Amino acid sequence: MAIDMPPAKLIIAYALDWILIIAIAAVGGGISYVKPYHRPFSLLDLAISFPYVDHDEVSTVTLVVVSLIVPAVIIAIVTALFVPAFSRSSIRDQRYWKRKLWEFNSGWMGLGLSFALAFFITTGIKNLIGKPRPDLLARCQPDLNDIAAHVVGGYGQDISQRWTLVSSSICTQTNQKQLDEGFRSFLSGHSSMSWSGLLYLSLWLASKFNMLIPYLGHSAPPRRNDEDETEQQPRDRAAAPPVFGAIIVLIPICVAFFVCSTRYVDFKHQGIDIFSGSVLGIITAWIGFRWYHGSLTRGQPWTWSPRSKDRAFAVSSGTHGWIGDGVDGVAMRERPQRMQRTRDIDIEAGGSGDPIVK
C-alpha cells in the first residue's frame, strides 16, 4: 500500500526545524573547544583540593549513548510496536501509517530539541563562569616557589604567602586541555544532558502508556440529592494509573540520578553544580516534550498534529494537517472537551450524563 507523502511545504518546514536543532547542538560543540574563563582561586581552598581522578565512572561517550541514543532507540521501538495501537483493520489504513510516521518524527524532534538546548546552554555557561572544579589544584600543579608573581587579590599575605588569590598562570600543568577542564565546574554537563534525555523519555513513555495524572476538569452539577452518587460521579471520570506502568516511567529518572551521583563521587563537581545542571536538564526536557505533546497533568497524552500545508512556517492549529482532521487534528484534540460539554448539557436537561459517542 502506497502512503501519500506529506506536502512539500510541510517537509521543508520540518527539515528546517531539524537543521536548526542540529545547528544548536553544533554551536554548543564548537563552544566546548573555546578556552574557558579562568577564575582566580586560593591555594588554601579545601573545596578545590580533592584528588584528580583520570577516569570518569560515566564517560562522555557513555553519557551520549545513555541520554540520547538509547532514548531514541526506545522511542523508535515503542512507536513501531505500540503507537498507534495495532489492529488488523489498521494495516490498510493510510492514516494509521501516517500517524506512526508522525509519532517517529515528533518523538525524535522533542528529544533532539531537549538535548541540543541543554548541551548548548551548558557549554556556554561553563565557559562564561569558569568556576574551578573540586580537583583543580591537583590538575593545576601550582608553582609554590614564586607565589607573589601570580597574586591577583587577597589581603592575607601577613598571615601566610599562600593566603591570597592567584591566577592560573601559577599552574605548571603542561596538558592545556586538562587544565581548561578544571575551570568548567558550573554547571554539570553530565547532569543537564542526562536529565534532558532521560526525563524526556520518561515523559514520553508516560504519554504513550497513558501514565497520566488524573484530572477532573469542570465539575458537572449534581443530578440527584443522593450524596453518595453526587460524590461518585466526578470521581468516575478519572483513575490512578497502574503501579507497574509508573515503574517503567521512573526507570529513566533513576538512571539520571545515578549519572548525577557519579559526578560527585569522581570529584568533578560540587553539589550546587549538579543541582543546577539537573534543573537545566529538567527544564529543557519539559520544553522538548510540551513542544510536541499535550499536558500530562490535564489528561492530554496525544501528540500535537503536524502543521497545516498552508501555514507550515507559521503558528498553525493543524486543522488541515497531513494526518487528517478526523484522526489527529483539532477535532480529536477537542473531543474530550466536546464530550464533557455534551454530558453537562444532558445532566442539566435531566438525563443521565452518560457519554454517547457518535
Q: What is the pTM of this model?
A: 0.81
pLDDT in tens, 49-68: 999 998 899 999 999 999 99
Q: Where are the domains of the chain?
A: 8-211+251-313
Cβ-based burial of 113 (10 A; exposed 0-12, middle 13-18, buried ≥19) = buried
Mean pLDDT of the chain: 81
For 36-40, 210-214, 216-220, 242-246, which range has the lowest pLDDT when averaged over its residues? Answer: 216-220
Of 48, 44, 178, 28, the residue nearest 117 (C-alpha):
28
pLDDT in tens, 149-185: 898 887 766 677 778 899 999 999 999 999 999 999 9
Cβ-based burial of 235 (10 A; exposed 0-12, middle 13-18, buried ≥19) = exposed
pLDDT at residue 33, rounded to an integer: 93
pLDDT in tens, 95-110: 778 888 888 999 999 9
For 6-10, 17-21, 167-171, 309-313, which range has the lowest pLDDT when averaged over its residues? Answer: 309-313
Q: Which three cell numbers stand for residue 197?
A: 534525555
